[in-house]
Chain A
Amino acid sequence: MGVCLSLLFITSCKDDFVSTRPLGEVSEEVTWSDPALAEAFVLDIYNGLGQGGLDEQMQASLTDEAMFTHPGRGINTITESRSNAADQGWINGTYSWSELYKRIRATNLAIVNLTESKFDDTNKANSLLGEAYFLRGYYYQQLLRFYGSIPLIDKPYELGEEDYTLERSTYEDCVNFIVSDCDKAVELLTGVTNPAGRANAIAALALKARVLTYAASDLHDVPTASSKSPTIAAFSNKEYLGYVSGDRTERWQKAKDAAFAVVNQTNYGYKMNLSAPVSPAEGTENYKTLSLGGGSNAVPADGAVELLLGRFFSELKDEGGNYVGRNNGPNGYHNWAGNTPIQNLVDDYEMVDGSQFSWTNPVHASAPYQNRDPRFYATVLYDGADWKPRTNDVKGLDPFNQIQTGQYEVVNSSGSITVQAGLDTRTSSIEDWNGTQTGYYFRKFTDPDPAIIDQNTRQTIPWPVLKYTEAVLNYVEACIELGQDGEARNWLNKIRFRSGMPAITESGDELRQRYRNERRIELVYEEHRFFDARRWMIAPNTIGSKIGLIRIGATLKDGKKVQVYHYDPESYTYKYTPSDLDPGIENRQWLDKMYFMPISRDEINRNTKLTQNPGYE
C-alpha cells in the first residue's frame, strides 16, 4: 500500500501517461514517409469500387436487363420514375455522392503527399501517384455518368475552412478534368506492371475511352438532347448536362482515337483474332470463360486477360461479392433470386443463325430456349437448364439438377395426374418467397463449379471494372458514328465470332441498331445498360417498358406416366406464355427527369451553390 501511495504522488505530477496512443492506427506523418504504408493508403482507395457491381441489389435491376425480386429496397422508386431530391431511391455505394467524394478526398491526399514524396523510392512514389490520378478520374467518371456534372475538387479540405461550397463545373470541364487525370495516370504508369486488382496504364486508357464515348453521345450533346426531351430543353443550366457548343464529329473522333489506343493492345483481347464463328457450344464456353474472369475452377482461367481492371474476391475475405450465387440463384437451391433476367432481355437474344427471335414464329414460341445466341446459355438460367447438384434435402425432388420454373403434370403414387409447382417457382415447397417472378435466374457471374454451394460458399468471380471488350465496343460505336462502317463491322464481328454468332453485314442506322443490341447482349449485367439506354436516349422505350415474364406449363403427352419430373419434350407438351408483370409488384414507367439522378436535397442545403438536375422540383 505504501508503495502504491508513493508511486501515486510521484506519477500524479507527471501526466505523460494520460497521452495514450491508438494502438491500432498509424499517424499521417509516418504513413507518407514509409513506402509500404503509403502503398497501403493508395490500395484502400480501391475500396471505393465497392463490391464492383456484385452487390445483392444490382444495377441491372434498374434497367431492362433484370428485376429485383424483393420489395422495399428503393429499386422501384427509380424504375417507376419516382425519384426525388428527398428520396432518391436505391443508390449503390459505387455511385453514392458521399462515398465517391470520400474516395476522391483520399486521392487528393495521396496526390498531395506523393507529388513531393517523403520517401526515397521515386519509382514507387510515381506509380502510386499514377494510381491515385487514375482513381480520381474513375470516381469522377462514376459521378459524372450518374448525376451529370459535379463540383470538381482537387485538394483535400481541412476542418475550419471558411467556405466549403462550390458550384458544379460544366459537363465539358468535367470530361476534360477526367481525361487529364487519365493522361497523367498513363504517363506515370507506363512501364509499371501492377498485379491484378490494381490499375495499369491500359486501364487509364480504357477509362479515357469510355468517358470520351459518353461525351460524344446524344444525351450529352445539348442540341440533340433538347430536341428529344422537353425536360432537358426547359433546363436553364444545360452546360451541366452536356456540350452546349462544339463539333460532335470531333468528339467522336477523340472517342475513337482513345478507344483505339486500347483496342490496339490486342494481347488484352480474349480470342479476338477469329475470322469465322466458333461452334455454338464453343461460343457458350468462350463467353463463360470470359464472364468468369479466371475466378472459377469450372472453366479455363484465360478470361482474366480481358480485365484491364477487375475487382477481385477471395475466399479468405467475407464480402458481399462472394455471394452472387446465393443472392441471385434459385430458391430451390436455398438461394434468393435477387436480380432475375426479364423477358425483355431474353427476347433480345438473337437466334444462333443471327435472325431475330419472335413469339409470332410458332417454332420459336414452342421452344424459345433452343437455337439461341450461345451467350444466352452462359447468362440466363431458364426452365429445363442444367445446373448444379441440388442440396440433399431437395435432390430427391429433382435428381436431374435442372432449373424448374414451370408448372408440370406428374403422376402421383395413387396413379392420378396432378400439377406440381417447379422447385424454383414462387409456389415451390422451398422458400417460395425467394422464387423468381420472371421465370428466369441469373447465371453470368455465378460460379458454375459444383464445389461452390452457393448458399454458404464464397465464390471468387471478379467484377470487370474495365474490360477490353468494352473498349472494342466503344471503338465500334465511334466508328459507326463517324460513318466508318467497315471498320465497325470488322471489330463487331470479332466479338460475335468468339461467341459462335455469324457476321453482321448491315450498315448505316441498321448497323447502329445491330451494334446497340450486340452491346446489350455482350455486356449484359456489367452496369452498361443503365447508362447506354440513357446516353442513346432510348430509355423511354427500353428501361421504361413494363417487365415481361414467362409462364410455363407442361402437360403429359398421352400415355406418359412421369412420377419425378424433369425437362422432357418426349413426355411433355410445353406451353410458354409471355406476359407482363402484374402492376401490383413493379409498375415501371419512364419520365425524362430520370436521365440524370437527383442530387440529394440535404446536399444542396449544405452546398447552396449546387443546382438540381432537370425535372426535380
Chain B
Amino acid sequence: MNSEHITKTFLWPMLILALVASPTIGFAEEPIGYTTEVSNLKQDEITVTGRVNSMTGNEGLPGVSIIIKGTQQGTSTDGDGKFIIEGVPANATLVFSMIGYKSHEEVVNNRTSVSIVLQDDLSSLDEVVVVGYGTQKKETITGSVTTVKSADLVKSPALNVSNSLAGRLPGVIATQGSAEPGYDGSTVRIRGTNTLGDSSPLIVVDGIPARQGGFERINPADIDNISVLKDAAAAIYGARAANGVILITTKRGKIGKPSLSYTFNQGFSQPTFIPKLADASQYAEMRNELELFKLPVSEWEAANTAFKNNGSYDRKNGSTLTAPFSPEDFQLFKDGSDPWFHPNTDWYDAALKDYSPQTQHNLQLTGGSENFQYLTSIGYQNQDAFYKNSATNYKQYDLRINLDAKINDYISTKIGVLGRQEDRNFPTKSAGTIFRMLMRGNPTQPAFWPNGLPGPDIEYGENPVVITTDQTGYNKDKRYYFQTNGEINISIPGVEGLKFTGTAAADKYIRQTKQWQIPWYLYTWQGDYETDGTPKLVAGKRGPYADPALSQGNEDQLNILLGAVVNYDKSFGDHQFNVLAGVNRETIRNDNFNAFRKYFISGAIDELFAGGDSEKNNGGSAWERARLNYFGRINYNYKEKYIAEFLWRYDGSYMFPENSRYGFFPGALAAWRISEEDFWKENVPVVNYLKLRASYGQMGNDNIYYNNSLQEYQYFSTYGFGSYIVDGNVVKSLYESRVPNTFITWEVANNYNLGLDGQLFDGRINFEFDVFMNKRTNILWQRNASIPQSTGMTLPAENIGKVNNKGWEFNVGYNGASGDLKYNASINGGYAKNKIIFWDESPGAPEWQRTTGKTTNSGMYYIYDGIFKDESDIAANNLDYSDITNNLRPGDMKYKDYDGDGAITPDDRVRRDRNTTPTFQGGLNIGLQYRNFDMAILFQGATGGELMVSSAESGAIGNYLLEFYEDRWTVDNPSSEFPRIADRSDQYYSSGNTYWLQSTNYVRLKNLEIGYTFPIELIRKVGVSNLRLYANGLNLFTISNIKAYDPESVNQTGQYYPQARIINFGASINF
C-alpha cells in the first residue's frame, strides 16, 4: 500500500485549509516580540502555555493530547482546554490530537503562548479502513465495505460481540436466538442468505482466517475495529469468501508514555419477554373443555353445563364423566385459600429471578516509543443466568499482548498473543428442557410446596425450580485458546516500495467437558399428614440414572497458518500502483476422546476412577483439514480520481478432489471520484465528496452443509462406522457413507455491486448507497428430488443449486452542533431477499407449492378461512374435508380450497415466500454530547420474517399462552374467528396453516448509553487523566407484531432461553 504517501499528500492541503478557515489559529496572546526575547534568553528550550478551543464557541477542549513532535514528551489539556508544556525546543512542532477532531501540527516558532482551534473531524475521509491483506483510505476505497469502531462496540453492554452488531452495519443481519450464558451469540449473515447450505461469513481475526472460537468471545475492549467486506472486495479470500468476510482488528500499542486504563462494568439482565400464560383457573377451565370436546358434539352443550354446575356429567350411555376440575376447584384457585392443593403457580416467577448480574473487568496497559509499542489487556467476565440459584453461568478470562517493534530501517515485526479460557457451566438439563418445563408447568401444580420443599414432578423429574440448580449435578464445558500470530515486514533495501511480509500463526484449542449426573429429590403428597396437620410430603428420587454417572470428554486442536506476502508500491507522476501477491498454507488437526462411567462407589467422588466397570464406555476420533492458497491484488489510481483494483485468489481446499481442488477467484473493482472533477467542484461545491463505485467478483464456498452438518470427503468412496448387536454384544459395523461424487467442486458466487458514497457541507451530511445482486451457482446440494429413492443411493453433494439474492443498503448521517450541544445521527438499513432458481425439485408438485422461485426455507401452509362456528355452519359447508378429518365439528377451522377441486386436500397447501429470517434490518444511531455529558441511542428493527406460533405442548401436558385462552372458540361463546383449543395440537387445524403464522417485524431500543466525563482539573490532582461514568442498556423496549415471544425468536413453542434485556453501569479510568 501507498497509504503513507497518500496520507501525506492529502493531509497537508487539509491542514492548510483548516488553518485558513480558523481565525484564531496562530494568534499569540502575548506580544510576539516579548516571547521571542524570553526564548532567546533561555536559548533553545522554552515553556509553552496555551489553550485548545473547539470549533463551536469559546469552549476549551479538555483531554487533548499534545506531543512535541519526534519525542515522547507531552501533556494534555485540562478541563478548560488549557495546557502547560515545559522544555519545548524553540523551533519544535507541537502535535495536538484527540478522537473526533482532525489532528493539528503547530510550529512553536519561539512563542511561549500558543492557542489553537481543533477542527471537528466530520468527513472521516482520511480514515483508514481495513480490507483483505491491507488497509485502504475511505475516500479511495472501491469495494462495499462497512465498518464499526471500538468506541461504538463498547457502548453495548453485551458481553458477546456478535450481539453488538445489529443496527450498526448496513447489510449485516444479526439475529440473537437466545441469551443463554455461553450460547448467546447472534446468527450473523452478510446480505442475507445466498445459498442453500452454509451461509455464514468468513471471520478473519488479525489477518488469520477462520480462527477457532471466531470473534464472539473476543474481549470487546480489545477490538479496534470490525470491517465487513460485502462485495468483490472479499474475493481475495477466495474459496471461503462467498458469504462475505468479517475482518476483526485488535488494538495495538500507541506511542507515548505508559497509559493504564481500567474499565469496570456491572450489568443486570432479565428476559426481554416472558410468555404470558394462563393462570390456574383459566387453565382449569381449558382443561375441562378438552374433556368435553372428546365427546360427540351432540353432548357438548349438556356436558358443558353439567361441568359448570357440579363438575360431572351423566352421559347418555349411562356412564358418568367427571370434569378434571370441579366448581369448588375454581373457587379455590381464585381465592388462594388452599395453597397446598390449589396453588396458582407462575412458573417463570418461581424459577427466574428479577435480574441476573453480569460483571466485566478490563485492564489495559499501552504505550511505547517509535521503535517499540505494546498493548497488554487482561479481561474477566462473569455472566449469571436468569435462574434462581442458577447452575448456569459463563466465565471468561482473557489476556492479549500485541507488540510492534521496528528492528531497523528495513525490518519491523508484529506479534500478537491471545490466551483465553471460557468456562461454561450448566446444570445437567439443557436450557431447552428447562424452558420446556416452564412452558409446560401447569399453574394448578405447585413449584414449591408451602413449606418450601420442591413441588412434584412434571415429567422425568424435570421440575424447573430444581433442574436449574446444582441439585442434578453439573455440566462443565471449558475451552482454552492459545493463539499466537507473528508477522515480519522486510522492506527490501535498494528497491523503494518493495516489502516482504511473512506471517505465522499457531492456534491451540483445547476443550474439556465434564458432566456429572446425580439423582435429585422431588416431593409428593401421598395422603398422610404430619402431627401438626400439614400434609406429609414424601421425597422421591428422580433422574436419568439411579446412581451418579460421569461423562468426560477432551478435544485437542492445532491450527497452523504460514503465509508470505510481497507488496510493491510505485508511482509515476499522477499514476500510482500497488501490487501485492501472497501465499497461505493452512492445516488443522483435531484429536478427541470421551469416556463414561456409572455405578459410582459414592456421590462424593466425581472422578472417573471411582465409577463402576459395568457399562463403562469410551470413544475417540480425529480429523484433519488443509488448504493452500495464492492470492494477489493490483491497485491503480490516477490522481485519486479514477481508481481501479483487480484482486484474485487461487485456492485449494481439502474438501475437493485433486482434479477440481483449485479454483481461481477474481474480483474487479472501480471507483470514480466525481467530486474531484473540476466541473463538479465548480458547479456543485456543496457536495464536497462524491464517489461512484462498481464491482464484480467471483468467490467460492467450500463448506458443504446439509442435514445440519459439514459434509466432508464427498468425492471419496468410504464407509463409515456404526454398530449392531450380535450375541448381546455391541459390534462395529460399516455402511456406505455416500455414493462418491468425483466431480465435486466449490460453490461459485458471482456478486455484482454498485455504490455511491458522498458528503455534503464538508461532511456535515454523509451518505452511502449500494445495490447488489448475488448469483450463486454450483451450490452443493443433493439431487434427492429427481433421483428415485428406489436407487437406495445416499446421495453426495453435487454442484447443482442456483440461488439469486438481491438487495440494497444505505446509510445516511448528519453531524451538527448547536452551542455546547454536538449531535450526530445516522440511519442505515439493508434489504436482501433471495430466490431459489434451481435445486432439483421434483416436477410433479403443483405450481403453488414449488420452492423453486421462492425464498429459501419457506414453508407450505393451508390457508385459514375462518371457523365453523356451529353445526349449521358445518351443514352449510360443501367442501370435502375427508383427507384431513372424517369428523367436522364446531370450532374446527375452515381452509381455502386453493385448487378449487371441491375438496380440502394436501394440494391446497400454498408455499409462502417468507421464512423466519427478516429481509430488512436497519438502525437509527443518535449521538449527543453536551459539555461533559454524552449519550448514544440505537433504535434497531427488522421486517420481513415470520414465525409459526405453536401450541404443540399445550393441553393436558402443559399450559397455554394467555392469547390462546383469550381467543378461543367455546361452547358458550362460539367464535367464527378463533378455533377451539386442542390438546397437544391434536386437531388437523392445530398447525400447518396460516392462522398460526405471525409476523416478526419489530423496532426496539437496542442500545442506549449515557456517560459523564469528569472535568480534568478535578481528577488530575489524584493522577487520573480521564474518568468516565456511564450507564447503558440493551433491548430496553420493543414494539413488535408478535405478542407471544421476543421477535428475534425462531422457536415456535417458546421453549428456549429467551433474549436478554441488560442494564449496565460502568466506569472507565485512565492513568
Contacts and interface: CB of A to CB of B under 8 A. Distances in A.
Instruction: Tell me whether A and B are bound partners.
Output: yes
Question: Size range of the interface on B?
Answer: 35 or more
Contacts of A308: none
A105 interface: yes
B545 A456 contact: yes
Interface stretch (A274-282, A508-516, A522-530, A603-611): A603-611
A8 B563 contact: yes
A15 B628 contact: yes
A20 B624 contact: yes
Of A103, A317, A434, A457, most B-chain CB atoms within 10 Å: A317
B319 interface: yes
A20 B626 contact: yes
Interface stretch (B156-164, B200-208, B524-532): B524-532
A31 B712 CA distance: 20
A41 B884 contact: no
B792 A153 contact: yes
Interface string B946-958: 0000001001110
B524 A394 contact: yes
Contacts of B545: 456
Contacts of A396: 524, 526-528, 538
Interface string A320-347: 0000000000000010000000000000
Nearest to A589: B886
A87 interface: yes
Contacts of A564: 527
A427 B311 CA distance: 13
B721 interface: yes
A28 B738 CA distance: 11
Interface in A70-99: 70-72, 80-82, 84, 86-87, 97-98
13 contacts: A11-B585, A20-B624, A25-B719, A25-B720, A25-B737, A102-B793, A105-B791, A106-B736, A109-B736, A159-B798, A334-B459, A395-B526, A583-B294
Interface in B539-590: 539-546, 562-564, 583, 585, 587
Nearest to A457: B546
A537 B737 CA distance: 42
B544 A456 contact: yes
Interface stretch (B84-92, B842-850, B1043-1051): B842-850
Nearest to B487: A1
A295 to B, nearest CB: 9
Given A103-B792, A316-B615, A394-B526, A19 B658 contact: yes
Closest 4 CB pairs of A and B: A393-B540, A105-B792, A71-B986, A396-B526
B889 A584 contact: yes
A21 B624 contact: yes
Contacts of B842: 602, 605-606
A466 interface: no
B456 interface: yes
A431 B459 contact: yes
A388 B768 CA distance: 74
A47 interface: yes
Contacts of A164: 787-788, 790-791
Interface stretch (A175-183, A193-201, A209-217, A473-481): A193-201
Interface string A387-400: 00001111111000
Contacts, number: 319
B615 A315 contact: yes
Nearest to B792: A105
Nearest to A166: B790
A82 B882 contact: yes
A71 B538 CA distance: 33
Given A23-B622, A23-B623, A393-B539, A603 B721 contact: no
A1 B719 contact: no
Contact of A433 (B527, B726, B845, B956): B956
B906 interface: yes
A585 interface: yes
B886 to A, nearest CB: 5
Contact of B791 (A80, A101, A551, A602): A101
B789 A98 contact: yes
A71 B785 CA distance: 30
Given A43-B724, A433-B955, A20 B654 contact: yes
Contact of B296 (A31, A456, A583): A583
Contacts of B718: 22, 25-28
Contacts of A426: 956
A86 B293 CA distance: 28
Interface stretch (B101-109, B122-130, B271-279, B727-735): B727-735
B810 interface: no
Nearest to B564: A8
B740 A159 contact: yes
Given A27-B717, A71-B983, A87-B906, A20 B625 contact: yes
Given A25-B716, A43-B732, 11 more contacts: A19-B626, A20-B625, A22-B718, A43-B731, A82-B884, A101-B791, A105-B792, A159-B798, A413-B529, A433-B984, A603-B789
B212 interface: no
A454 to B, nearest CB: 12
Interface in A42-90: 43-44, 46-47, 70-72, 80-82, 84, 86-87
Interface string A1-39: 100110111011001011111111111110100000100
Interface string B794-825: 11101000000000000000000000000000
A547 interface: no
Contact of A8 (B528, B585, B886): B585
A34 B986 CA distance: 52
Given A80-B886, A84-B883, A582-B294, A317 B730 contact: yes
A206 interface: no
A445 interface: no
A430 interface: yes
A151 B907 CA distance: 27
Of A24, A195, A587, most B-chain CB atoms within 10 Å: A24
A392 B790 contact: no
A164 B624 CA distance: 36
B727 A197 contact: yes
A551 B905 CA distance: 37
